[in-house]
Amino acid sequence: MLSDLKLKKADSGKSYELYKGSTIQISLEGNPTTGYQWGLLPESVNDLILKPNADYSFSPDNSALSGSGGTFVFDFMASNPGEAKLVFGYQRSWENDPSAETWSINVTVKDVH
């Protein structure tokens, strides 16, 4: 059982157990200058179990190149015991096409004893 998680793209498809009050930080690489952005998809099953701490943040790469990519960062707090699934999609908001890429995890939150 973990207390806090910092996850990257390679962690997709895994399952995790956390204690209530723990945090999850998800960092996904992308390039918003192409119109693509990472976002939480409707198929996420979250309810009140994992609460977003804020909207995502974006940190550009340390590059002087115009149009270079960076990292989208999402933060969640394990608010209540239960099971949740987070599913993110990398897509353009104006297109109806499925996501170019998806990322997901399953999380079980346990009460602190």
**Residue ranges per structural domain of the chain:** 2-110
pLDDT of the residue at 64: 62
Pairing of strands 15-30, 2-7: parallel
Confidence of residue 2 (pLDDT cuts 50, 70, 90): low
Smallest CA-to-CA distance from 18 within 50, 54, 47 is with 50
The answer on pLDDT for 113 being more than 80 is no
Q: How many CB atoms lie within 10 A of CB 49?
A: 22
Could you tell me the pTM of the whole model? Answer: 0.88
Q: What is the CATH number of domain 2-110?
A: 2.60.40.2020
pLDDT of the residue at 112: 81
The answer on pLDDT for 80 being more than 90 is yes
Pairing of strands 50-52, 70-78: antiparallel
Q: For the segment 17-68, what is each residue's pLDDT rounded down to a tens digit?
A: 999 999 999 999 999 888 999 999 988 888 789 999 878 888 888 766 777 7
The phi and psi torsions of 95 (rounded to 5 degrees) equal: -100, 145
- Please provide the average confidence, as pLDDT, over all residues in the chain: 89
